[in-house]
Each structure stands twice: as structure tokens, then as C-alpha cells.
Amino acid sequence: MLSPDEFREKYPAEVLEDELPNSPIGSLRDLQYLYGKLYTLATTGGGEYAPYLTPDAASDLVDTDDSLIVVRVDMSGDEPRLAADLDPVLITRYSDDLIQQVGHCKYSAAAGIDHSVTHQAGQDSDPEKLARYAKERLTRWAVDEVVTKAADDHTDGWIIERLAELGEDETILETIEETITRKLGGESATSLLTVQVKTASDGDYQWPGDLDVFNEAMRQRKLAKLVTKNKADDSSGDATDLVTGLPARTVGTSEDPQNYFLGKQLEKFPGLDIEEAWRSHPISEDAAITVMNAGTFVEACTYRTFGAKVYYLPYVFGRLTANKVHRLYGLLYHAVENDDTTPIEDAYKDERDADINTRDLRFYISAVMPHQMSRYDVFGETLNGRLHYPKELAFTHNRLVESVSAFNMKSEAEWTAPLPTNEKWGLLSTSDEQLHAVSTGWYFYQTFSERDDDEADADDPRIKALISVLSGEPIAVDMLLEEYVNRIVDEQTDDDEHEGFPSFLIASQFAQLCALADNELQLLRPTDPSNEPIAHEPTYDRYIMPSLDEIPIADGGHPAAPKLESFINETPALSPAHDDDPDSVTSQRRGAFLLGALVGDIGSYQEYSEDRSTTLVDQYPVKSITRSRIKKVTQETVAKTLTYTRQEKKQQGNYPGTKADHIVDRLRDTILKPDPEEWEIETDDLRFYYALGVTYGMNDHPWNRDESDVDEIEEEH
């Protein structure tokens, strides 16, 4: 395959534009056709038969020993015979310069022969089998029904007829077998088998690719398969080609790089009559072949995740100018050569390294879920994917955990940020791999409920979220909360695998939620007015949290109080500024968060000061929090807080106020006075923000706390 520089040199603007479709990309078929056209130009060049060749099929054989076996036939006399002036059977190396000359066209059926007279043997075939394949160039291919019909209609059809005639001579066949067996010396080989023919006494032996009759017979064999797939008799007819817009003989059961539009692919062909498929999806013979050639580029731009196959195919928006297509070819070439990155990352690298404007770059996106052989579900399909969404989501996420007050603080800060970060957690660190995580789905794998990929289905929320982000479609808030809570509950339940409260997981989920809510991206969709605030971008300060001395503390209070006030006010899902009605879901959500903050705070006190192995955090796991229980949990937690307050007063004599009073006072107004059983908040909403509160409370302490100064810290707190 030509490198991007070689492609640009061989196909300058004036040459390439003559090869390109006249209309912009408007469908998947248009895109596949363009890919197939570029692949053909880059591998077999232009020309009538170039799209029918399959140079990749035998690419592994290039420059390997005994990779090409050639039977030479002399047809220059009255009777065909094996070459007498040269070696009648040549065993040599298959090389790049022979790709077009051997004219190989692969047929994937296990028991079939290739469309071309050139045939590819299986891996490490023994000499006897290779000899049989060589003889079948004369005894099987040359007498194939489609090949003989093509020969009848061609002026040079006599060449194929003489090839078949030679195949009736047992002496000739024995000579071929004996020669191949002797030359290979009993060793197995992986080879292409073909013929060379001499048609004039003073001429040279010609390869199949040099003779039009061989090319036409190959073409007709391949076309014949386009109308008989899925047991159709002849799914063809005259119609307007959906790719070129021109009248043509169209076919209905052609192969497809993505297995779309096949007899068992019901999403694309509901109620299919296989014989009439050409009416539902008319594509001309030559266009169908070109589409089939898109396979190499299509496969290079796909990856598997969550049990599905995700297609992320780049193309250029608008008119197909040579400059745009040259750049597109570069992306496709690098996708073929590099298995480690996705097309998203490749496009971003080009944009970054070459200062390329990606406004004209679009992506076709879909996910395919296989159920059984030849049966698939296609979902999330769009032609409007853009680099902007995954790229900006990755950058927004990194900015959040690196430089906003909810997740970070100055190095000299004496008090922790509201939520923890951890360099070993991908979503709690600023990682260069974040774009890779977003584009492959790992971004959601880290936060969503875990599933067995072998049992995944088209309703998998992880796939829905991935496709939504790639295409810029908002994700439903309730789906996110359900997945988050299920993952939290699973981790708290599985004691053997996970230890302690999953605070890093919850902080990761919240960072993801905030990134998706970014005002520019708007990748969150509220499913009802009550969770609309969750879809709003937080207003955390875009600077690192100040040190303890810089925090304004009113009335000689403690820094924990203004820190809590600031976090709640800057989080739209919790903020009274968004909705201060005590009966609103926002107020209820705030109450759940505050309860969690108190449970986390007192639970940490129990662990560090009381040396208790089981704390309130363990006593009230996330799955135990419901509307009917939350008031009781609050009462018990406040009672435990007052007990520790009395202990502190006995020990110190002048302990001021109530322990964690900045939380307790708020709880009295949000949970203890109202009746939570009449709340309207959904359970997942309630539990997630309770879990977020626990994470906040466990992380709410002076920076660099250690066992030696626990008592002193707790006295202050």
C-alpha cells in the first residue's frame, strides 16, 4: 500500500479529483465507496479490473520462499502444451511487482476456488495438495460455468478453452504433479498457484493480469456471487445505483465490510425478500465491488469494547477536494499501520502536530452487537460524529481534577479539597491517556456497573454512553445515576475483592458527571425537571483551593464550614440558589448529601480516634439508604455525634458547640423536620448524593493527617 507521500505523488490533485465521486458523503455506502476507491488506488492502481483484485489476501506471502507456483503453458502451436523452452513449472518468490500481474481475486468460501485463475493455497499445504491446486487451474477453474460463459463472449476466449483442453491430458497433469513434488522436496509451503501462457511463437509468457480474457472471467465469477448470496437465485435488476445515481444493473446481496444489508441483518432489511433485495438496496455491480474493497480501511478504524464492535470511520464533510482526501488517506493509512490508537487519537495527533483544522472532519459511528453467526444488531448509528466531543471531554475532565477547587488545592494548603484525587486512578489524575479512555469506552468502564462482555447486549448502558459521547448526543442523567449506584453497591457488597468505602470510585464518578455537564459539551440530558440541576455545569473556582490562612472564616468559625458552604453553592445539583424550596428535589438531594457528609465525618472520627473497625460508614452502606429509612439513619447519626461531643467536653472541659455542627444544623432543616417518606427524589439520585456526601465527609480533614496527630486534629475539628 502506498504511503501518504507516495499516494500524493502518484495522485496529485488533478489526477485524484478525476477518480473521486462528484457528490459529498451522504450515506454509509458513499463512505464505503470512497474508502474502496482509495484502497484500490493505493494498492492495485486504476483501471477497469483493479477493484476486483485482492492484494491484501496474499500479502503475507510477499518475499517468502516457494510462495508462487506457476504452470507455464505454450499455446502458440496447433495444440496446447507445457512450456518446452522454459521450465514448465516455476516455483519462485511472490513479490510486490507481481501483485497486479498475477491478478489474484480471493474467494473466501472454504471449499471453493478463487475467482481468478490464480488461487491461494492454505497455510503450509503439503506438496500433493499444492500439485492438486496447480492442476485445478486447468481442470476446475477453466471449466467453471461462469468462466466458460465469459470465454464464449470474449474474442480471446480460446485461451481459456485451450487451458481446459490441456487439463484433459493425464500425462500433462502427471508431469505437473511430479515436478512440483520433486522441486519442493517433500516440504510444505504456503503459495499462490497460477499460470503463464504464450500465445505467439515469438512472444513471451504472459501473466493472467496481462490478458483481458483472464481478467474478464475473474470479474464475471466475482460478480456472479453478488446476486446469489443467502441462497438467492438471481438478486439483480436494472435500477438507479444509490452510490453514483446512474442507471445500471444493480445487485442486492453483495458482501459488505460491516455485514450490513445482508439477508440475516434484519435492522437493514426488515421483511426481506432475498430475490428482490436489489429493489430495496440497489447498488451497481462495480460500485458493490468497490465497496467490498473498503474492508481494510473499515477494519482498521474499528475496535471491540463491551462485547460490541464499534465503527468510527473518518470522512471529509462537503465537497471531496483532493487536499481533503489526501489528508483523509493519511488518516486511513496510519490506522492500518498502527493498532495501538483509535482514529480519534490519530486525528487529534494530526491536528496537534500539523496545526490542522478539523472542522471538515466527520466520523460515521455505529456499534454492532453480534448474536450468532450472521445475525447482528446495529445501534447508535450516525454520520455526524466529530473529533470535538471526545477530545474536549478528555481535556475537560483533566482540567477538572487538576485545577478546580472541588478536587485540588495549593501545595501549602492545610485543609483537604472537598473530594480526593489519586494518581493511580485514571479519572482522578491528569492523564495523557484520557482521550484513549474516552474513545475506547474505558472512560465508562471505570465508573459503570461491571458486566460480562460475553453476555452483553444492545441495551448495554456502557455502549450507549460511548456512542453518545462519540457522536455528541447527551446521555440521560437517570441512566448515569443508576449505573453509578449499581457499581457502588457492588463494590460495597463484594467484601472479598474490595476493602473499605469506595471513595475514589465515587469521586471518579462525580468528576465524570461534572465533565459531561460542561456548558460547551452539554453531554447530559435531564429526564425530568427534578434532575435538571445535575445537568448544569458546576461553578467551582478555576483556581486551586487557597491555603487555610486564605479561607475567610466568619465569627471565628472553623474552615470546614465555609468549605462545605462553598461546595454546596457551586454544585448546581445541591445549591439552594438553584432551588431553595424545602420540598424540592434539590433540597432533598442536598439533605442526602449532608447526611452522607456527617456519616463520613463521624465514621472517620471513629476509625482514627476510637480505633473502631466498624464505623457508621460500614453501618449505613449506600444500598441501605431509602426515603423510608433516611430519617432514622439521620437521627441515629446525629445522636452518635452528640455522644462524641459530650465525650470531648468531658475530656477538654471547654469544648465549643457541637461536633460537626456545620453539618448537623443543616440536617435539622433538611431531614429531621420534614418527612422524607413524602419525598419525590428517585432512589438512585438519593443514594448517589449520599455516597458523594460520605466521600466528602471522609475527606474533610486537615491536610497530611496521620496517626500521630489524630487526637489534636479531632479536638480542633
pLDDT in tens, 653-708: 666 667 888 899 888 888 877 778 888 999 999 999 999 999 999 988 776 554 33
> 178 Cβ partners below 8 Å, 6+ apart?
none
Residue 655 inside a domain? The answer is yes
Query: Which region among 248-262, 307-321, 429-443, 626-640 has the lowest average model confidence (pLDDT)?
Result: 248-262
pLDDT band at 229 (very low <50, low <70, confident <90, very high): low
Polymer length in residues for the chain: 717
Q: What is the pLDDT of residue 272?
A: 65
Entry pTM: 0.81
Which pLDDT value is given to residue 708? 36
Measured distance CA(213)–CA(219) in Å, rounded = 10
Using the predicted structure, report yes or no on whether residue 313 has a pLDDT greater than 50.
yes
Calculate helix-pair angle for 127-136, 170-184, nearest 10 degrees. Answer: 140
Band (556; pLDDT cuts 50, 70, 90): very low
More confident residue, 717 or 465: 465
N-term to C-term CA, the chain = 68
Mean pLDDT of 591-605: 93
130 within some domain = yes
Which residue in 593, 425, 447, 591 sits closest to 516, CA to CA? 447
Q: Could you report the per-residue pLDDT of 619-642, keeping only the tens digit for each?
A: 999 999 999 999 999 999 999 988
Q: Collapse the DSSP code of 66 into the 3-class scheme (helix H, G, I; strand E, B; otherwise coil) and give the result.
A: coil
Region 63-84: mean pLDDT is 93
Specify if 604 maps to a domain.
yes
Q: Which range among 384-388, 513-517, 692-696 shows the weakest confidence by mean pLDDT?
A: 384-388
Q: Round to whole Å and give the CA distance between 60 and 72.
A: 24
Q: Is residue 437 part of a domain?
A: no
Q: What is the largest CA-CA distance in the chain?
A: 123
The predicted model gives 517-523 an average pLDDT of 92
Strand partners, 119: 193
Q: What is the pLDDT of residue 716?
A: 34
Q: Is the pLDDT of residue 243 over 80?
A: yes
User: Does position 133 have pLDDT exceeding 50, yes or no?
Assistant: yes
The residue whose grid cell reads 496474499 is 58
Which of 110-119, 206-215, 249-258 reaches the highest mean pLDDT? 206-215
Q: What is the pLDDT of residue 533?
A: 93
Report whether pLDDT(162) > 90. yes
The answer to whether 434 touches 347, Cβ cutoff 8 Å, is: no
User: Which stretch of 1-15, 109-123, 173-187, 406-420 has the lowest confidence by average pLDDT?
Assistant: 406-420
Distance CA 700, CA 20 (A): 62
Q: What is the per-residue pLDDT across 350-374, written as a single tens digit (0 to 9) for each?
A: 766 554 456 778 899 988 877 665 5
> What pLDDT does residue 348 have?
82
Statement: residue 555 has pLDDT above 70: no
Residue that has been written with the C-alpha cell 483551593 in this structure: 545
pLDDT for residue 257: 80
**Buried (b) or exposed (e) across 44-61, using 16+ Cβ within 10 A?**
beeeebbbbbbbbbbeeb
pLDDT at 580 over 90: no
CA–CA separation, 59 vs 186, rounded Å?
Answer: 25
Q: 3-state SS of 625-651?
A: CCCCCHHHHHHHHHHHHHHHHHHHHHH
For residue 677, count other CB atoms closer than 10 A to its CB: 11
Residue 265 has a pLDDT of 53
| Mean per-residue pLDDT, 478-492 | 94
Residue 411 above 70 pLDDT? no
- C-alpha closest to that of 501 among 491, 510, 511, 490: 491
In a domain, 391, yes or no: no
Q: Which of 221, 243, 261 is the last residue of a domain?
A: 221
Q: Cα 298 vs. chain centroid, distance in angstroms?
A: 12
Quick check: 287 pLDDT over 60?
yes
Domain stops at, among 221, 255, 288 = 221
Query: What value does the mean pLDDT take over residues 268-289?
Result: 74
Q: What is the pLDDT of residue 44?
A: 86
**164, 186, 221 - which closes a domain:** 221
pLDDT, position 120: 94
Q: Is residue 712 scored above 50 in pLDDT?
A: no
Contact call for residues 238 and 227 (beta carbons, < 8 A): no
- Reference 322, options 41, 32, 16; nearest CA is 16
C-alpha cell at 430: 491528569
By DSSP bridging, strand 247-251 and strand 192-198 are: unpaired
Res. 648 pLDDT band, cuts 50 70 90: confident
Q: Which of 154, 129, 294, 289 is nearest to 214 (CA)?
A: 154
DSSP conformational letter for 167: T
The predicted model gives 112-136 an average pLDDT of 93
Question: What is the per-residue pLDDT for 125?
Answer: 93
Q: Is residue 457 part of a domain?
A: no
User: Residue 284, SS3?
Assistant: strand
Number of structural domains found in the chain: 2
d(CA 253, CA 275): 9
**pLDDT value, residue 496:** 55
Which residues pair with residue 92 across a beta bridge? 68
Nearest-angstrom CA–CA distance, 71 and 194: 6
pLDDT score of 542: 64
Per-residue pLDDT at 707: 38
Evaluate whether residue 203 is within a structural domain: yes
Q: Give the pLDDT score at 375.
A: 65
Judge whether residue 147 has pLDDT over 80. Answer: yes
Please give the residue range of the domain that contains residue 205.
Answer: 59-221
- Cβ count within 10 A of residue 294: 25
Predicted local confidence at residue 709, as pLDDT: 40
Mean residue pLDDT of the chain comes to 85
Is residue 119 domain-resident?
yes
- Cα-flanking dihedrals φ and ψ of residue 377, to 5°? -110, 135
Residue 713 has pLDDT above 50, yes or no: no
